[in-house]
Every structure is written in C-alpha cells, then in structure tokens.
Amino acid sequence: MADDQRPDLPQRIGIDRPGSFSRSVFHERHPVLIENLLGDFPYPARIQARLESLLAETLNGTVPPEIPPGPNASFWEAQIAECAGKPWSELPFLWAESYFYRRLLDATEYFEPESPWAGVDLFAPQKHAQLAGAEIQSDLDAYTALAERETAERRRALLTASLWGNQADLGFRTTSSIAGQSDIVVDDSPAIWDLVDGPGEGPVIVVADNAGRELTADLALIDAILETATVELHLKPHPYFVSDATGRDLHATLDTLAANPNKPVQALAERLRDAIRHERLLLRTHGCYVLPTTYRHLPPDLAGGFRAAKLVILKGDLNYRRLVGDREWDAATPFGDVVDYFPGDVAALRTAKSDLAVGVPPARLSELETGSPDWRVSGTHAMMQVLH
C-alpha cells in the first residue's frame, strides 16, 4: 500500500467509520452486488460458495495470505505481504475496493484458463442491459439534435453530456438512485477546449470510466475532439469495478451505434471506426488501471505518455480518487495544490459519488454544506477541473 509519505498529506479515507459512505459501500452495496451476480449467472456450487465466503470475509474477516491469480502477480504479492492478517475494516478504502473486485474475478474463475468461466465478464449482463435500454436511445436522440448547432454550443453540450454520463455508474446504482443533475460545482470547461485546440503534436488522452451510457457520451465527445486533434482512448484491460469500460465494451458500443435507426448516429459510429483504422483514434490499456494505486505513482511508460499529451481527460469518480489521492482533504484545498505533481495538463470530469472533493471555493462550499449536505455522495453534483 505504498503511497506518498509526505507529512502534509491528509489521512487516507478508510472503511471503518460507522455511517460513512465508504463503510456503506462494503456493508450495503457489496451484498447487493453479490446477490445480483448470483442472479445473473447460473454459477455452480463452488463459485456460489466462493462469492458468499468473500462477502463474509470482507464484512467480518481478515485478508488471507494467498495471492490472487492473474496479471500483476508481483504487485499483489508485495501488497498481500503487507496486508495479510489485517481486518478488512482497517484497510484504506481505495485499496480495499480494488482488492475486493480482484477477488471477485478470482472467485468467478476469470483467470483460470481451463475453467468454462475463464474470461467471462461477470458484469456483462448489467452492461448489456444499459446499452440496450431506453435511456441510451434518449441520449442518442439528443446527440442527433446537436448536429445543427454552432460549434461552440455543440462542443459545450457534448462536454456536459460526457460529464453527466458519469451518473450511469452501475456500481453506484446498485444501491443508490440519482435524482437529476443539480449543479456543476466547479466549471473549468473553457480551458479544456483551449488545450484541445492549442499547439502541440501530442494526442488528447481520454481515460475512460464506465461502459454503457457514459462511454456512449464519451465517444460523441471524442468525435468532436477528433476535428482538431488525435485521441488516445484508455480502457481497462479486464473487468474491474461494475461497469468499467473494456475493449469489448467499446466494440459493443460501436456496434450499438452502427445499428441505431438514426442516420447521424450510424455516421458517428462509422467516423469513429474510420478513425481507429487510420490511427487518429488510438485504443490503449494498461495494467495500472486495475490496481489500487494513485497517479502519484505512475509507471514510467504511462507517465511519459501523459507528459507528451496535449491534455489528459480523466473521467469519473475512481479516476478522480486516483488523481487527488483517496484522502480526507479539506474540499476548499486548491485543485492545483493537490495535483501539481501530474506530469502534464490534466482535466477531471466527475460527478461526485464519494466523500472526496478538492478545489471548491470556500463560499461555494459553505452553500453546499448548508443547502445540500449529501452533495458529495448523491451523484447530483459535478465538477470539471483543469490543471494547466
């Protein structure tokens, strides 16, 4: 669990405090998540038992010494050597959540090559249901209506749609609902387009978060960015949190767009596929994206790519937690003071679905805490923050 040991960094967010959002993830969300998995797949008794045992362990047990199978074995070996025997309740939130999802893949035999369950995305039914849902069609109808707008207005709408697309997080919706789009708490969006259109040969990197409605909105935004820059879309190398986007999810989304009855949506799918063919839209992944690490500790190749980019756009709550560090920051702490270590220009587009926040002006913060005390975790508030 190595992290920056600077003495001025706040304490890591844990899962031990009664009534905290992080504790509710383990004690309320995860039991429902396991129940959903058992309903979605006809798992045999051995996998059912593993899932139920994992849930019991996370609620009342300790970290076992076994190393989860699959990639990044040396990383996990070092991590487990440090954590084995510790109660789950004493683990940092970000580490515990990531380890939980890695253990889910273990329990469902995702990395066992001779198992019939090998490589089966355990969240695929939920992802496919959202991709086939009525909300997607409503989103695409709205996209079609943007075609006739002026460039600046269209760009603004696409960026906002990508921002609020993060509400579609299936993990969050396991036990929570979102009532509308209340407020963009911090809005640095003009700087995003200035950086996209600015000088430099590097690509704009978009680090995706969720599949389904969010990825659909991200692809519409990427289509607009491609008008003036090349794009790298970074995806997860395998299933991670519930709806995290993988390469398979991307291609399923393009297939859905191509099959849409609206001609402008079909044309969007073809433009994106053509951009992939001609390497103006590059698809990337990295093992770092499925580990409980923060962006303070980037591997050299990923740090080099971020440094060379025109702009790195980080989507969603988990990427935000990685960027600022999953710590108990005073929300008024300036965004730049927290993320000044980042190797290049970076923009965070995120709906607030965890306790974490930085860069909120003190007067605005006071208004939020008084008028919307659950604003940090309700998913109804959002932020677009830029470090340039």
CA–CA distance, 264 with 140 (Å, rounded to integer) = 9
pLDDT score for 145: 86
| pTM check: above 0.85 | yes
CA–CA distance, 257 with 240 (Å, rounded to integer) = 24
Neighbours of 225 (CB within 10 A): 24
CA–CA distance, 384 with 238 (Å, rounded to integer) = 27
Let me know: does 323 contact 352? Beta carbons within 8 Å. Answer: no
pLDDT score for 196: 96
CA–CA distance, 383 with 163 (Å, rounded to integer) = 8
Residue type, 284: R
Rounded (10°) angle between helices 93-107 and 73-83: 120
pLDDT score for 134: 87
pLDDT block averages, 10 residues each, the chain of length 388: 65 91 94 96 98 97 96 96 96 97 98 97 94 88 85 92 83 51 88 93 96 94 97 98 96 96 95 98 97 95 97 96 96 96 97 93 95 90 95
* 187: exposed, middle or buried (Cβ count in 10 Å: 0-12, 13-18, 19+): middle
Report helix, strand or coil for 184: strand
pLDDT score for 200: 83
Rounded to 10 degrees, the C-alpha dihedral 159/385/304/195 comes to: 60
pLDDT score for 169: 65
User: Which is it for the CA torsion 371, 377, 380, 384, positive or negative?
Assistant: positive
What does the buried/exposed string (b/e) look like for 51-74 if buried means 16 or more CB atoms within 10 Å of the residue's CB? Answer: beebbeebeeeebeeebbeeeeee
- Locate 215 and state its tokens: 């990825």
Tally the C-alpha atoms within 13 A of residue 223's C-alpha that lie toward its C-beta: 26
pLDDT score for 163: 94
Report helix, strand or coil for 92: strand
Scanning the chain, the segments in alpha helix (DSSP H) are: 21-24, 30-40, 45-60, 73-83, 93-107, 124-131, 134-145, 151-165, 189-197, 213-225, 247-258, 263-277, 300-308, 316-324, 335-339, 362-371
Alpha-carbon separation of residue 268 from 81, 193, 301, 386 (angstroms): 48, 20, 31, 28
CA–CA distance, 368 with 120 (Å, rounded to integer) = 42
- Locate 71 and state its tokens: 């990639």
- Locate 31 and state its tokens: 């039991």
Let me know: does 302 contact 286? Beta carbons within 8 Å. Answer: yes
**Closest C-alpha to 101, from 135, 54, 146, 148:** 54
pLDDT score for 201: 87
- Locate 353 and state its tokens: 């679905």
- Locate 369 and state its tokens: 């805490």
pLDDT score for 30: 96
